[in-house]
Structure 1
Amino acid sequence: MRIPVTFPLFLLTLTLATPALAQNRPAPTGNPERAARHAKFKELLTGSRLVGFFTTEGQKGPAKRDSYTIKKVVKLKGDKWRIQASVEYRKIPITVPIIVDVRWAGDTPMIQITKLNIPLLGTFTARVLFYDGQYAGMWSGDDHGGQMYGRVVPADEGKGDQGPKKQVNWPSFRGKNAEGNGDGSKTPVKWNVETGENVRWKTRVPGLSHSSPVIWGDRIYLTSAVKEGDDDPKLKVGRYGSIASVDDDTPHEMQVLCVDKKTGKILWTKTAWKGVPKIKRHPKGTHAASTPATDGKYVVAFFGSEGLYCYDTAGTLVWQKDLGVLDSGYFKVPTAQWGFASSPIIHAGRVIVQCDVQGDNSFLAVYEIATGKQVWRTPRDEVPTWGSPTVHEGQVIVNGWKNIGGYDLATGKQVWKVRGGGDIPVPTPIVAHDLIFITNAHGRSAPILAISTKAKGEFSMTAEESPHMVWSKSRRGNYMQTPLVYGDYLYCCNGIGALTCIDAKTGEQIYRERIPGGGAGFTGSGVAADGKLYFPGEDGEIHVIEAGRDFNPLAVNGLGEECLSTPAVSEGALFFRARRHLFAVGLTK
């Protein structure tokens, strides 16, 4: 009698046939290129979920859905790897260590098993390729077998169909990888703060901050700078050209707060630092401009010169680091101090910070999130910038003026570089359609760049001069706002509310229109959800635009107070950090 074997059960039984290999220890490699390749494969699979389909030869009907979680991946000796997987057999989750061979075709890993005899079950063969976040392969066992294919996604995603997933976690500035995509639930077109229509709650938050909320599960984390003896510090919004700093020697408390996502109740508040800030702020700025980051276990908050802090989700301080005086301001006028704003990100158990400041002190650094231990620190020849890093396929990607580039996540070595553009870079890089999108402005240039994710070396901003620059535009880039890719289109909303829609793959401009009623200016970046684009104006007016080829404004909804931060989206609700309150906006009927 032959026992029916599905692909998940096949994986489960591999561990029965290789007990001795489970004792192998990780083996270091002396080849830096090979080590980087291995690190990238480990990063792809650790903490991931394989979501897709499998077939069995001769079966009738469509392929069957398949999903299982990979908790950890460890390199052993030779070609052997240990994969700690959680598979579901007959609705029972089982965690097993699976020992496999991994072979390489250039940069493409392939899990390989050949005629492996498993007592009672038979002999099995498998080949599974992984590339660009996807997997595909075959498996066979005696007189039966089939194919498998699907996507590799973070472990907290991909638990269902292949359509839009409900966005629950929003772990850092503008969500995962700064994508700004809150799809998966219905979101409102209209709301009214005064009547309460589609406003789930609003909570008074002390202090002044332009950092954005971040979300994990049912908890929201945010930061604030609370001025001693002044619950309503001055904030000058609107379009003006002053470079002056706010002359203020009053002590401030740099606070980290945790809020219940469902009710808006503040669960805990921690003071990370107290004293007179070392660097002054811009009249439109705050001393808490860096968005925190969380991975559901830790919360990391960055207050520039006042330090980098890591808490657990209960609010207990795990570690802190003094990174020195981080003076961000106008490089041509060093006395014009504007305040630090680059946000930390968390990736695969590491904290990444970009610190481009005055003088010769700019750097990019990575720390272990559990201990704060420095993994690497790479100096950067760069003027002050305010954007945050983005991680994609083993690279840390950063904006800049002297040095737009990508760095190897494992070593800190620079992989590619572009020079030029606007000399006050603020937007964060984003990745979509195998392209890196970077924009900046100020001075004589305001480019929009679409760079290949496979770029290497130093190259020109002009697409005609470099194969790595897939397309570029010399004008109409954003000064403050991070651009947004939603579907096939790249949206760039600048400070005066001019919204440009571009075909993300080709660079073709679809439209350029002025958002009606946006005269106060725009600083916060837009987000997308449920087929709609949400752009926050500095005056607290939130502009809702239909996504797509046609420019179609849908609504303008006021918060009743200034808003210079970027919203977060979770389970159909939009969370706006305005001047005095945190708002939760979502369908209430």
Structure 2
Amino acid sequence: MNNQDKLKLSHNIALIAGIFCAAVALLLLLNFWQITKTDPIESKALEALVQRLKDDRNNEELKEEIRNFDLLARKAYFNSQWQVETGAYMLLFGAIVLAFALRVYYAAKSKIEEPEKVLENEIASRIIAQKGIVIVGSAVMVLALLASYLSVNQLKSYDANALVAENKTSAEEAVEVINVAPAQTATNEVSEEVAVNETTASENVSEVQSEVASSKTVAETPVTETKPAAASSGMTLAELQKNHNSFRGPLAQGVIMHKNIPTEWDGAAGANVVWKAEVPKHGFNSPVIWGDKLFVAGADNTTREVYCYNRNDGKLLWTGVADNISGSPATPPRVTDDTGLSAPTLTTDGNAVFAIFGTGDVIAFDMNGKRLWARNLGVPDNHYGHSSSLITWNGKLLVQYDTNRGGKVMALDNKSGETVWETQRNSKISWASPVLAEVDGKYQLVLTADPIVAGYDVENGEELWSVECMMGEVGPSVGYADGIVVAANEYARMVAIDIRTQEVLWEDDFYLPEASSILAHDGLVFVATSYGVFVCYDLKEGELLWEDDFGSPVYSSPVFADGKVYLMDNDGVMRIYEFSRELKKVGENELGEMSGPTPAFADGRIYIRGENDLYCIGK
């Protein structure tokens, strides 16, 4: 190819690339303008439909219309986001081609032996014109790239208050150690005026600032140890199975060992309702139980509280207030109504109860309501609100803290609240909760997020394995049984992973959960969709065994107890099925009020948190 051919070819390529960049940039700007006119979080039309449903709760056509509207709105929004992100990459590619073509063009042009003589004013005019084109083109490209960035990250602005509040904190992980008077006997409410001497810890636990490496190898997963692992708390699996100490029960797997679980009740009429108690503040967290004590939490924009009830008679024993915590934001972050500031379920080891709120505040009380320690982990950058529940094992409080700023998992000492270990994760934001899995005699923590499902050593935080298979806004926690992890998310897929080999055994993309976690037990897998279809799969083969379409929205998670599977829908109706490879429904029972949290279980009792009240169901 001679010099003249190079000149012509590079000129044509530069022209095409320039037109391509201008067209993509214009489309990006138009797309950005369109997105800014639509709120991706709140829809006035959807709010109007929901309000109509409150006035007519039995209108099945209206329920179906709401589900279809919500599904279309979500798909349209995420499709628009995909278009913007793809357009940004296309614009970047076009700019690179344009720059390369221009370089070749001017290099070829410089080799022409005798350029025509032109007047100085003509040269100056050309230079000015060229500079003008470069400036205008660069401005359009910068605006388009900025628009694509703002569009892809638009949801982050929903939590702007949290970011402002977080910047005001002087130390994100300052631990507050509180020395208190000797424990009192349980009273109706522990007074907040007890003589308390608060002292700040002599050392602030520094937060790991290094970014996550792109490599997926286990050896390159950054782990920071700040303190030797805590001694065992003496809590055994047998003790856990006698209680219900975390979200979905022992090890957070949704498998309950209690017997004589009731199958018939009527909350509105009071049939088989042992007691009913009002919960002072709202929250979507589930009840947890240790011995005769039951714990829930609640919060609003002014106060965050932990409540302890006598599980036998429903009497409120004490209230613990999460206040005066170093680093806690003066103004709580903005959250959606279906998450709130108290979505994560508490956990207990029998010596203390631990709670986390949407502000990033973590607090511990002893079983009589004495405040032990409190700290702020940094306000979570979360556009819906933090919802990942806590779990404890071997003297450590385990926290999944995946936000818009990146993922991490950490272990805090149960007695002091200090960081035992912290591991950065190659993941994005997640609303799922951790699950403990016993593999070859050792326990590991299994987490799911976009894009990975991964296991971590409980003792030191080392990443043991990782499979890239998830996408989107991950809410459901994994199911675990027989060495197999089952993870799923709506608009993504469901996968079954052999935890020892990290092999994907099967996958499916038809029935997928949005918020409800997965139940895996004894060869079966149960999944509840947000639009009211409950399905059963074979654990090892992935074969769909049966489905039940009842049409009510579901956020609660299915639980196995006493040979049956219990599933509560958002309308407060508990559906009970035989644990079987065939569809066998045992019954349906109405609570009498809306409900979203997963129930807790004890021998002969079910504890259900409604929208306003706490119920004990039994004979």
TM-score band by shorter chain is 0.5 to 0.7
Is contact 2:481–2:522 with CA below 8 Å preserved after alignment? no
Are the counterparts in 1 of residues 343 and 387 from structure 2 also a CA contact under 8 Å? Answer: yes
Match of 1:354 in 2: 400
What does residue 364 of structure 1 align with?
A: 409
Question: Which of 287, 291, 296 is matched with 2:341 structurally?
Answer: 287
Q: Which runs of 5+ in 1 are unaligned?
A: 1-31, 34-42, 48-70, 73-152, 158-166, 228-250, 330-337, 457-467
- Report how many residues are paired: 384
5 Å matches for 1:293-312?
A: 293-312=347-366
Q: 1:211-258 deviations in whole A, cap 9, x for unaligned?
A: 000001111011011x4xxxxxxxxxxxxxxxxxxxxxxx32110010
Counterpart CA distance in 1 for 2:604 and 2:254 is: 13
Match of 2:387 among 341, 344, 354: 341
Match of 1:435 among 484, 492, 496: 484
- Taking the aligned partners of 1:545 and 1:218, their CA distance within structure 2 comes to 28
Deviation at 1:482, TM superposition (A): 0.6
The whole-number CA distance in structure 2 between the counterparts of 1:402 and 1:278 is 29
Partner of 1:180: 254
Note if contact 1:178-1:430 (Cα within 8 Å) is conserved in structure 2.
Answer: no
Query: 1:343 deviation in Å?
Result: 0.8
| Structure 2 unaligned residues grouped into runs of 5+ | 1-217, 220-228
CA displacement at 1:346 relative to structure 2: 0.3
Within the alignment, does 1:209 sit opposite 2:209 as a pair?
Answer: no
Q: Could you say which residue in structure 1 is the equivalent of 2:312?
A: 262
1:576 touches 1:582 (CA, 8 Å); kept in 2? yes
Report if the CA contact (8 A) 2:253-2:436 is conserved: no
Secondary structure of the equivalent of 1:492? strand
After superposition, what is the alpha-carbon deviation per residue over 1:254-296, rounded to whole angstroms, capped at 9, x for unaligned? 1001010100111000111388653212132221000000010
Please give the alpha-carbon distance, in whole angstroms, between the structure 2 residues aligned to 1:375 and 1:218: 30
- Structural mapping, 1:117-136, within 5 Å: none
Partner of 1:505: 540
SS at match of 2:422: strand
1:573–1:584 CA contact under 8 A, matched in 2: yes
Instruction: Tell me how far apart the structure 2 counterparts of residues 292 and 172 of structure 1 sit (CA, whole Å).
Output: 6
When residues 319 and 46 of structure 1 are mapped into structure 2, their CA distance, relative to the original with a 3 A threshold, is closer
Within the candidate set 481, 485, 504, 2:516 is matched to 481
1:116-515 mapped onto 2 (5 Å cutoff) = 154-156=237-239, 168-225=242-299, 227=300, 251-273=301-323, 277-329=331-383, 338-360=384-406, 362-392=407-437, 393-442=442-491, 445=492, 447-455=493-501, 468-514=503-549
Q: Say if 1:306 and 1:395 are closer, same or farther in 2 by CA, change over 3 A.
A: closer
Q: What is the distance in 2 between the residues matched to 1:208 and 1:46?
A: 34
> Using a 3 Å threshold, how does the CA distance of structure 1 residues 182 and 408 change in structure 2: closer, same or farther?
closer
1:478, 1:494 within 8 Å by CA — same for their partners in 2? yes
Identify which of 551, 565, 568 aligns with 2:583.
551
CA contact (8 A) 1:421 1:441 kept: no
Cα 1:532–1:553 shift into 2, 3 Å: same
Look up the equivalent residue of 2:536 and give its one-letter code: C
3-state secondary structure, aligned to 1:499: strand
- 2-structure distance, mates of 1:277, 1:208: 18
Shift of 1:358: 1.3
Contact in 1 for aligned 2:251/2:435 (Cα 8 Å): yes
Identity %: 28
CA distance in 2, matches of 1:380, 1:435: 22
Report what 1:148 is aligned to. none
Tell me by how many angstroms 1:193 deviates: 1.8
1:198–1:368: structure 2 CA closer, same or farther, 3 Å change rule? same
Q: CA deviation at 1:431?
A: 1.8
- On the 8 A contact 1:182/1:572 being kept in 2, the answer is no
Q: Is the 8 A contact 2:387 2:431 kept in 1?
A: yes
d(CA) in 1 for partners of 2:506 and 2:469?
16
Change (3 A) 1:208 1:276: farther
Q: CA deviation at 1:394?
A: 3.3
1:540 to 572, 581, 597: 572
Distance 1:385 1:277, change over 3 A: farther
Give yes or no for the alignment of 1:569 onto 2:601. Answer: yes
Distance 1:412 1:194, change over 3 A: closer
Q: Deviations over 1:533-578 (max 9, x none)?
A: 2211111122222221221223222112110111111112111111
Q: CA deviation at 1:513?
A: 2.6
SS of aligned partner of 1:252: coil
Hey, which of these two has a bigger chunk of strand by percent?
Answer: 1
Kindly tell me: are residues 261 and 210 of structure 1, through their superposed partners in 2, closer, same or farther at Cα, counting changes over 3 Å? same
Using the TM superposition, give the Cα deviation of residue 155 of structure 1 relative to its aligned residue in structure 2, in angstroms: 4.4
The Cα shift of 1:315 comes to 1.0
Q: Secondary structure at the match of 1:407?
A: strand
Structure 2: how far apart are the matches of 1:501 and 1:530?
Answer: 18
Tell me the distance in 2 between the aligned counterparts of 1:532 and 1:277: 44
| 1:477 shift after superposition | 2.6
**SS in structure 2 of the partner of residue 273 of structure 1:** coil
Aligned ranges 1:89-104 → 2 under 5 Å: none
Would the aligned equivalents of 2:480 and 2:519 in 1 still touch at CA under 8 Å?
A: no
Moved more, 570-579 or 420-429: 420-429
Distance of 1:561 and 1:273 partners within structure 2? 31
Superposed CA deviations along residues 61-95 of structure 1, whole A, max 9, x for unmatched, are: xxxxxxxxxx69xxxxxxxxxxxxxxxxxxxxxxx
RMSD of the TM alignment (CA)? 2.3
2:359 is paired with a residue whose SS is helix
Q: 2:389 is paired with a residue of what secondary structure?
A: coil
d(CA) in 2 for partners of 1:180 and 1:506?
21
Q: What residue identity is the alignment partner of 1:281?
A: V
Q: Deviations over 1:400-431 (max 9, x none)?
A: 11222112223322221122334111111232
**Please, what TM-score do these two structures have when normalized by structure 1?**
0.62
Q: Is the 8 A contact 1:273 1:306 kept in 2?
A: no
C-alpha distance 551-281 of structure 1, shift in aligned 2 (>3 A): same
2:400/2:408 contact within 8 Å kept: yes
**Quick one: distance in 2 between partners of 1:155 and 1:549?**
28
Structure number with greater CO (CA < 8 Å, separation at least 6) is 2
Match for residue 117 of structure 2? none
Match of 1:156, SS state, is: helix
